[in-house]
């Protein structure tokens, strides 16, 4: 039986065009991430090959971590070696990645206004963590929610929903994947995070030794940032669980 395609709709032609550029950028510069075929580009919609399968779960974390590391290493060698995390990056094809720092500074200040940070002291602590995280080589952030990775019956992993890409440090998108799994499924198996981090680092370094490694302290900093940034979505979009105690103890409400 022929599967019907999937059509995604956008509010403006600019949003549609940006989604196409980001899709094509991943296809060219982050090839380990397999995407559904894009068949029709309309002014306010994109039509993709329909992918059948299940969303990724905790059991897929080591494999997904290695996949992200491979994609991030590939992108750095291919196109991101000269990108700086503190400034937007424009590529020759017109693709623009937002900088890493400024949008997250804005978002953290908004979280204080929304009551997701206890006070200005907590905000300053988070801004300091964010500032510290701008060190190191640039990668990209695609919002690695487990629902954005489809595991097919053939055990292939297909990446969907790549509309919005920004610059980010190595390891930041891995932390988002771990964060989303924690909020969706609760406590992960013992040593799951350390195993995933080791798989990610091995994949990244296979591309260039200069990329270094993301250590557990840095990954935990990223997790704390994601805890604050995702706070408004707890109880929605499949996020059924709260944050672990050791993250809440770092000034998160």
Least confident of 103-107, 143-147, 233-237: 233-237
pLDDT at 246: 58
Contact 248, 234 (CB under 8 A): no
Is 252 a residue whose pLDDT tops 50?
Answer: no
Q: What is the mean pLDDT of the chain?
A: 91
Q: 150-163: per-residue pLDDT in tens?
A: 999 999 999 999 99
Strand partners, 45: 9
Q: 202-214: per-residue pLDDT in tens?
A: 999 999 999 989 9
Pairing label, strands 89-90, 96-97: antiparallel
Contact 222, 178 (CB under 8 A): no
Secondary structure (DSSP) of the chain:
-PPPPEEEE-SSHHHHHHHHHHHHHHHHH-TTS----EEEE-SSEEEE----SEE--GGGHHHHHHHHHHHHHHHIIIIITT--TTS-EE-TTS-EEBPSHHHHHHHHHHHHHHTSSSSHHHHHHHHHHHHHTT-S-EEEE----GGGEEEPTTS-EEE------EEEETTHHHHHHHHHHHHHH-SPPTTHHHHHHHHHHHHHHTT-GGG----HHHHHHHHHHHHHHTGGGTTSTT--S---HHHHTTT--
Q: How far apart are CA 173 and CA 167, in angstroms?
A: 10
Domain ranges of the chain: 51-248
pLDDT at 235: 86
Q: 54-77: per-residue pLDDT in tens?
A: 999 999 999 999 999 999 999 999
Q: According to the CATH classification, is domain 51-248 in 3.90.1200.10? A: yes
pTM of the model: 0.92
pLDDT at 61: 97
pLDDT band at 245 (very low <50, low <70, confident <90, very high): low
What token pair was written down for 244?
């672990």
pLDDT at 3: 74
pLDDT at 34: 97
Is 90 a residue whose pLDDT tops 90?
Answer: no
Is 253 a residue whose pLDDT tops 60?
Answer: no
Contact 43, 16 (CB under 8 A): yes
Is 251 a residue whose pLDDT tops 60?
Answer: no
Local structure of 6: helix, strand or coil: strand
Local structure of 49: helix, strand or coil: coil
């Amino acid at each position: 039986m022929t599967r019907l395609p999937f059509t995604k709709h956008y509010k403006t032609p600019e949003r549609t065009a940006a989604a196409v550029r980001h899709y094509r950028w991943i296809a060219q510069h982050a090839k380990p991430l397999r995407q559904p075929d894009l068949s029709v580009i309309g002014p306010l919609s994109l039509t993709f090959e329909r992918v059948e399968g299940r969303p990724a779960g905790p059991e897929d974390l080591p494999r997904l971590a290695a996949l992200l590391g491979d994609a991030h290493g590939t992108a750095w060698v291919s196109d991101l070696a000269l990108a700086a995390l503190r400034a937007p990056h424009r590529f020759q094809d017109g693709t623009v990645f937002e900088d890493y720092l400024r949008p997250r500074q804005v978002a953290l200040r908004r979280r204080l206004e929304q009551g997701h940070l206890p006070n200005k002291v907590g905000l300053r602590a988070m801004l300091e963590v964010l500032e510290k995280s701008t060190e190191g080589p640039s990668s990209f952030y695609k919002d690695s929610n487990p629902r954005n990775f489809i595991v097919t019956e053939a055990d292939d992993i297909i990446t969907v929903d790549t509309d919005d890409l920004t610059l980010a440090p190595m390891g930041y998108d891995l932390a988002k994947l771990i964060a989303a799994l924690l909020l969706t499924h609760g406590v992960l198996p013992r040593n799951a995070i350390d195993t995933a981090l080791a798989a990610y680092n091995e994949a990244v370094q296979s591309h260039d030794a200069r990329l270094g490694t993301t250590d557990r302290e840095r990954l935990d900093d990223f997790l704390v940032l994601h805890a604050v940034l995702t706070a408004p979505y707890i109880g929605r979009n499949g996020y059924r669980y709260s944050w672990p105690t050791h993250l809440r103890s770092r000034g998160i409400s």
